[in-house]
Copies of this chain bind each other. A is one copy, B any other.
Amino acid sequence: MQTAPRSAAPTTLSDAELRDLDAWWRAANYLSVGQIYLMGNPLLRKPLRPEHIKPRLLGHWGTTPGLNFVYAHLNRAITARDLNMIYVMGPGHGGPGPVAASWLEGTYSDIYPDVSRDEAGMERLFTQFSFPGGIPSHVAPETPGSIHEGGELGYALSHAYGAAFDNPDLVVAAVVGDGEAETGALATSWHSTKFVDPRRDGAVLPILHLNGYKIANPTVLARIDHDELDWLLRGYGHDPIVVEGADPDDMHRRFADALDRALNRISEIQHQARESGRSDRPAWPMIVLRSPKGWTGPAQVDGLPVEGTWRSHQVPFANARNDDDHRDILEKWLRSYRPEELFDEDGAPAAQIRDLHPRGTRRMSANPHANGGPLVRDLALPDFRDYAVPVGSPGSESAESTRVLGAFLRDIMRGNMSTFRMFAPDENNSNRLGTVLEATARTWNAEILPGDERLAPDGRVMEILSEHTCQGWLEGYLLTGRHGLFSCYEAFIHIVDSMFNQHAKWLRTTNDIQWRRPIPSLNYLLTSHVWRQDHNGFSHQDPGFIDHVVNKKADVIRVYLPPDANTLLSVADHCLRSRQYVNVIVAGKQPELQYLDMDDAIVHCTKGIGIWEWAGTDRGVEPDVVLGCAGDVPTMETLAAVEILLEWFPDLKIRVVNVVDLMRLQDDREHPHGLSGTDFDALFTTDKPVIFAYHGYPWLIHRLTYRRTNHDNFHVRGYKEEGTTTTPFDMCVMNQIDRFNLAKDVIDRVARIQPVAAHAREHLKNKLIEHGQYIRAHGEDLPEIADWHWQGIDSR
């Protein structure tokens, strides 16, 4: 850990420095405009003709010169201070900027040799941008130096903090666009200042870039009083330094000075904390950059102002290929950067430019933290079998599964005190994971009062009541090569549906990018699930995140529904070892029956799906009916249904199939975990009725199995948006996934027993009526249910 203050840089820019900075900026801007417009004549060594211009112009100019301006200045600071710095660009629409910068720094050509640092390479650089078969117009996984997909807005700060945690020497410069600043995710992520430890963590330097406009509207933060903005940023815990203007030379001098002040202050804060051993929360410096949208672009086009307005947001004028006037404006604009000074005879950056950027891994486009894969070290994992719940016979004991997991997580935490964190929206304890607090505190660098429990600046359990911030922090942490777990109420994980989308797409894309190595998986533990919302009721019931997740590519998503504690331990161990997936684990936190001892759990989880012979009666014979189940509550109800059925039909051949790894249900041609047709048929038969009790919305099981031989005989029960404040068992009844209804489903579908089923059917009907009456009168579980659980199971 670096404890000496970094050497103070000069606070005044020399004329030579200014000239260099400006030349680098002009080069990056030239290359950015070139990417948006050109497909030939990249160095303008000929007059610009229609065929040099792309037939379809797509891209965003508006934010790009600002991003380039900051890049140039950060480079100066990195060189002067030997900084370890990465750059998160919130306004990721400015994709041409970082692509231009990494080409200037040489990284781009190192990674993509066909985009060489010469005229041919520059032409390729221009042509590929936002072009079929080329690169996206946003900062994307393909962009060296980026951990931040620039498609959706709002995650810049939470990603930046995620990168800075546990990286004490890293400074993350994070540009926040004034558009994205209006998003909810961004607006609350400013409060990350209360969750960073100046001793242990790196620093984030936010740069709020006010260029004043979104697509078609001004931005809120650019149009409130300057005082209000200053208050707001101080309220977030920052000490803002404002740089405002449009004149390049003036702005260079002032921004360089502001950056030096901010970096000096960060050094002081860290030095002081690390020397004193105290982590008092400072007012962290930040910079407000007010510069024109589309800065250095054409002032006017067709008589309307462009620079400094929303008209520069995308392509400032669209007819450069076919309209001579527009083409003339474009040529003048490009020549205004004086490319002849910037690039040499071959089209490579001129020597003067080449020498301006930092060297090796100090280049932001080559900083290892911006490509977490190669940095990943395996977690030191204790043996999960040591945390097993003893299970004498299935269903004879009860445990809170997530609490059992908590002990495993505590020891994972102990063994990985700088590479593993847990994240939750104030739900860590509610989700029964509190044991982890024996190993570490909750991260907290705001006021701590006597009586507070387990709060500390260097805590590693990160709790803020913002699913967005939890997700963003974790993503930043994973993308820089570390590990984590996000536990959340099942219904409210939908808050981050869109963030999940972006991360899953990032993983999908990076699977095809050789130089990006696999990163640790994003692990969700969803608990407080739909079946146990006893008082929270209807508003807290939604098991649909699984549906959302399985819409993404099969090669990046995994879904697990461990039915008890030992299977949960096994699944969690597997997920924490995995790379490059999104793993969704759904598990209950309430006391629930335990079925499998650890050896059986491991076997079951390894297969992901299997016949529970001890629970069924189909010893070696084709069953009359298959009862499938996935999820803890459906499994319990299924086993109880078996009991009921056997009381009435002792010779019924029932097969119980439990599913832990949901994607096993899918065809092996559609998901890597999918079962072959033969294996599937061996479990579910080709023609027997299947009654499947599923944790979530029932149609997902149909979706996963619709190509299977026996699909027409699948009858699926699941959550169908019924029930609110009631008992757990009544929730099952209302959604017809309870033992009585499942038993009825079997009776209705097994032809062999129907002649003798009248009494049983009547009995079940009465049980349901009785239940309804009892519930309305007493509001508790049916009294016999407690006794009924699994008696007899262990005797078979």
Interface residues in chain A, defined as those with a beta carbon under 8 Å from any beta carbon in chain B: 54-56, 58-59, 130-138, 140, 149-154, 179-180, 182-191, 194, 214-220, 223-225, 228-237, 305, 309, 426-430, 442, 444, 446-449, 451-452, 455, 463-469, 491-492, 494-495, 497-498, 501-502, 505, 508-509, 534-540, 542, 544, 547-548, 551-553, 697, 699, 702-703, 706, 721, 724-727, 730, 775-776, 778-780
Contacts and interface: CB of A to CB of B under 8 A. Distances in A.
Contacts of A727: 132
A465 B703 contact: no
Task: Output the residue of A229, A234, A448, A730 with the most chain B CB within 10 A.
Answer: A234
Contact of A451 (B150, B309, B538): B309
Interface of A is mostly: loop
A305 B430 contact: no
Contacts of A430: 215-216
Contacts of A180: 465
B133 A220 contact: no
B544 A548 contact: yes
Given A224-B237, A235-B232, A237-B228, A151 B216 contact: no
Nearest to A218: B452
A206 to B, nearest CB: 15
A690 to B, nearest CB: 14
10 contacts: A140-B539, A149-B539, A151-B537, A154-B184, A183-B467, A183-B468, A184-B187, A186-B188, A494-B548, A544-B548
A320 to B, nearest CB: 16
A184 B188 contact: yes
A228 B218 contact: no
A298 to B, nearest CB: 16
Given A449-B218, A547-B547, A725-B130, A502 B539 contact: yes
B724 A136 contact: yes
B132 A730 contact: yes
Contact of A228 (B137, B150, B153, B234): B234
A386 to B, nearest CB: 27
Nearest to A188: B187
A721 B534 contact: no
A369 B527 CA distance: 37
Given A138-B537, A184-B495, A218-B449, 11 more contacts: A56-B779, A58-B725, A132-B776, A132-B779, A136-B538, A136-B724, A136-B725, A187-B190, A194-B223, A229-B235, A233-B235
Contacts of A138: 536-537, 539
A89 to B, nearest CB: 14
B131 A59 contact: no
A539 B224 contact: no
Nearest to A127: B779
Contact of A706 (B215, B501, B552, B702): B702
The count of identical subunits is 2
A215 B426 contact: yes
Nearest to A720: B553
B501 A725 contact: no
A183 B188 contact: yes
A179 B508 contact: no
A694 to B, nearest CB: 13
Given A215-B430, A779-B132, A220 B232 contact: no
B494 A495 contact: no
A402 to B, nearest CB: 15
A332 B238 CA distance: 47
Nearest to A543: B551
Given A56-B780, A464-B182, A779-B55, A455 B218 contact: yes
Nearest to A190: B187
Contact of A231 (B234, B469, B706): B234
Contact of A536 (B151, B184, B194, B218): B151
Contacts of A149: 539
A308 to B, nearest CB: 9
Contacts of A726: 132-133
Contacts of A233: 235
A38 to B, nearest CB: 13
B537 A136 contact: yes
A188 B446 CA distance: 21
Nearest to A550: B699
Given A224-B194, A224-B447, A309-B451, A551 B136 contact: no
B182 A465 contact: yes
A724 to B, nearest CB: 6
Contacts of A179: 426, 465
Task: Output the residue of A187, A225, A232 with the most chain B CB within 10 A.
Answer: A187
Given A55-B780, A231-B231, A444 B218 contact: yes
A500 to B, nearest CB: 9
B58 A534 contact: yes
Contacts of A216: 426, 428-430, 463
B184 A469 contact: yes
Contacts of A224: 194, 235, 237, 446-447
